[in-house]
Amino acid sequence: MPTSIVYLLGEARDITGNKDSAPDLYDKKIRGISSFWVGGLDKQDHFPVSNRDAKRVRAYQPLLQENVQQTYGGQKLQVDEALKFKFVRTLLIDNYDSYTYNIYQQLCVINGVPPVVMQNNEYTWEHILYTLYEERAFDNIVISPGPGSPTCPEDIGVCLRILLECKDIPILGVCLGHQALGYVHGAQIIHAPEPVHGRLSEIEHARHQLFQDIPSGRNSGFKVVRYHSLVIDANTLPDEIVPIAWSYSGETLPFHDYYKADVLKDAIGGQADHNHSKYSEETKSSKVIMAIMHSKRPHYGVQFHPESVATRHGRKIFENFKELTMDYWLSSSQVHERKVHNNARMQVPFSSRQFNELPKTKLLGNGYQVNLMSMSRPAMLTCKSIDARFLKLKWKKFDCLARQVGGAQNIFCELYGNQKADNTFWLDSSSVEQKRARFSFMGGKGGPLWKQVTFRLSSQSDIVAKAGGYLSIEDAQGSVKSVYLEDGFLDFMNKELRSLHYDEKDFEGLPFDFCGGYVGFIGYDLKVECGMSFNRHKSSVPDSCFFFADNIVVIDHRYDDVYVLSILDDYHLEKTAMPFENSTPWLDAMEQKLLHLKSSATNNVKERKPRSAVLAQHEAGFDADKSRDQYMEDVKKCLKFIKDGESYELCLTTQIRKRIEHIDKLGLYLELREKNPAPYAAWLNFSKENLCICCSSPERFLRLDRTGMLEAKPIKGTIARGLTLEEDEQLKSQLQHR
């Protein structure tokens, strides 16, 4: 079925001291895993609570969930089961954090209806206030984690005002949201004793309803994931903020070590071997607040991440917050009115239409205002009028042929290597050892449906999001037309793909999903079409280039089979005035070429390669963009960013350059694939743009198959080099098999 294969193209750039202009610091928004547990206040191994905290806990003991029931005004609440909510409507405030949609997934299941996601600077306060109190669109609010500090207005947005003024709406803050709850009422935010990112801790809680049916204390089975560099200063808590959970600052371990500890504990019948603990006596004198509550408002905060995959009992915390929400509204004077609103609104597919019906206004950093489409409902790109094209596919299979004719490299060079391999592509699985890839796809200009589309953002994209750009289309005959796309390239590509229709019977028997269509790359600057405010940098190459490949060759590396595929549409079939079954001149010609290839042709390929190697030796060395001292200074800046909570993992990059006046581009790629074979390598030669992409990647960003399964195969994690070759090999093996 015609589809598209996309490669991302970007540039590494310099780091500066300004947080908003540090494109080299790619914020790794992939969270780790963690979980942990702690003992209750009545255990011998309880956390030492200060006199000040102990008094506060005793003073607000009626608010802590010792039993299942909760008290209101001294009277135990008898909940009318008939008034129980069928749905709970949550406003989820996104502080620009990757964990937000992990929370979203949990709330979808627990609440019975998806929450509405709103970024922290997306709407005016007046509109939020109207939606919460006039429309009564939501039952509770969750404030997400995020980079930065609640003391910085740019990081926290509207969250502080919501915490101050929405005193009668249940609110749960996670990580940054937790810190905001403490800060807005007067607590100070300070550096943690040490940054804790992607690590596990055990927590002891005070049995508040937020932790109902969750164990407490060391060795209890309650482990949580932590990602933070800042904490609430326990010595500055105002009287109205009550701590309800704690952890020690030094008692953290990576998930891998905790997993081994759990296996050991299970093996000895549940008794932990404390000789294997890495806890030190020095760390047991300090503790970190892990959860708080407001004494007079239904506001709560947790410093850890209950939504993380490795946090034990994480879903239960969200379930308990749902119960707290329902109990709060059922005990209030507005219970019947709220129930009417709830039952009326919750029968629609989305939890609230309020944030979808009005345009949202965002104030960009440079002062420009733009109206953006709502991102709170599932993304659906609409096309008012799409010209349908009906495609037919014809293909042939040659069993066990690839090795007989010299392999994938020989096939590509013999079929497409002439004329410098201009206007060709090769999605190359040059490494298949670990079964990460199976097929290679290749093709070039020649078929009647072939075309090249090239897109460049307009200069306005540096100022305003989604400003459109210029698209040029070259067809198989070489004619070029240019148009201005007001709605941008992704909208164009969506319409293109939706216009293609086909008969699924044509694809029966093919073991791969890509059977022709668009092949190319998308540059990072197109992020302005995905919600980014503007581009700080401008790429010197097109923002996107694609071939429409109507004739392709596919190699199945598992079985050594070769496939040739050809696509035609109704127009070209009518033009040839012959049945589709007989309209296969390219297939016939390609069959003859494949069957006449000799394995010895591999020697001809090797003659191409020394040119790039000779040129590489012509001028020794590369020029680095930054000196060693500059680079080490950037490392210090990275560490400060992490310490200040701006990120938890940074990728610092720089560039080294070597100017080569003349180069055999295909020879360079062939040498690259030989020295660094990879499962997802690629050759893309857009000769008209003087742009050639030589890619040797061990990871695949995204893959969407015909069943709708979306798969990512990123490569994350590294390890320091060893001092000797033997140690280096041991570390390499440890990283591979961890």
Q: Check whether 262 has a pLDDT greater than 50.
A: no
Predicted local confidence at residue 569, as pLDDT: 85
pLDDT digits (tens, 9 = 90+) for 698-724: 888 888 887 888 887 777 656 667 788
For the chain, where do the domains classified as CATH 3.40.50.880 start and end? Answer: 35-354
Q: What integer is the mean pLDDT of 278-285?
A: 37
* DSSP character at residue 526: G
Give the pLDDT band of residue 422 (cuts 50, 70, 90): very high
Q: What integer is the mean pLDDT of 7-23?
A: 33
Query: Which one of the listed residues 178, 197, 205, 305 is annotated catalytic?
Result: 305
Q: What integer is the mean pLDDT of 350-378?
A: 34
Does 692 qualify as catalytic in the annotation? no
Q: What integer is the mean pLDDT of 450-465?
A: 77
**Three-class DSSP category at 313:** coil
Which of 55-64, 69-78, 300-309, 539-548 shows the lowest mean pLDDT across its residues? 69-78
Predicted local confidence at residue 451, as pLDDT: 96
Q: Check whether 7 has a pLDDT greater than 90.
A: no
| Beta carbons within 10 angstroms of residue 549's beta carbon | 30
Q: Check whether 12 has a pLDDT greater than 70.
A: no
Dist. CA 680–CA 721, nearest whole Å: 25
Q: Check whether 580 has a pLDDT greater than 50.
A: yes
Between residues 723 and 80, which one has the greater pLDDT? 723
Does 305 qualify as catalytic in the annotation? yes
pLDDT digits (tens, 9 = 90+) for 467-491: 689 999 999 999 999 999 999 999 9
Q: Check whether 557 has a pLDDT greater than 80.
A: yes
Contacts of 488 (CB under 8 A, 6+ apart): 466, 468, 469, 526, 529
Assess contact for 659 and 685: CB atoms under 8 A: no
pLDDT digits (tens, 9 = 90+) for 672-695: 999 989 999 999 999 999 999 999
pLDDT digits (tens, 9 = 90+) for 300-326: 999 999 999 889 999 999 999 999 999
Does 307 qualify as catalytic in the annotation? yes
Assess contact for 649 and 197: CB atoms under 8 A: yes
Q: What are phi and psi of 138, to 5 degrees?
A: -135, 150
Q: Check whether 619 has a pLDDT greater than 80.
A: no
| Beta carbons within 10 angstroms of residue 204's beta carbon | 28
Query: Which one of the listed residues 307, 414, 474, 529 is annotated catalytic?
Result: 307
Q: What integer is the mean pLDDT of 157-166?
A: 96
Dihedral angle sign, alpha carbons of residues 55, 60, 65, 66: positive
Predicted local confidence at residue 312, as pLDDT: 93
% of the chain exceeding 90 in pLDDT:
48
Give the pLDDT band of residue 446 (cuts 50, 70, 90): confident
Give the pLDDT band of residue 544 (cuts 50, 70, 90): very high
Q: Check whether 23 has a pLDDT greater than 50.
A: no
**Taking the domain 35-354, which CATH number applies?**
3.40.50.880
Between residues 279 and 594, which one has the greater pLDDT? 594
Between residues 541 and 63, which one has the greater pLDDT? 541
Per the listing, tokens 């909940």 go with 79
Q: What integer is the mean pLDDT of 5-25?
A: 34
Average per-residue pLDDT for the chain: 76
Predicted local confidence at residue 582, as pLDDT: 60
Q: Check whether 10 has a pLDDT greater than 70.
A: no
Give the pLDDT band of residue 385 (cuts 50, 70, 90): very low
Dist. CA 496–CA 566, nearest whole Å: 19
| Residue 405: closest CA among 584, 564, 512, 517 | 564
Dist. CA 539–CA 543, nearest whole Å: 7
Predicted local confidence at residue 33, as pLDDT: 26
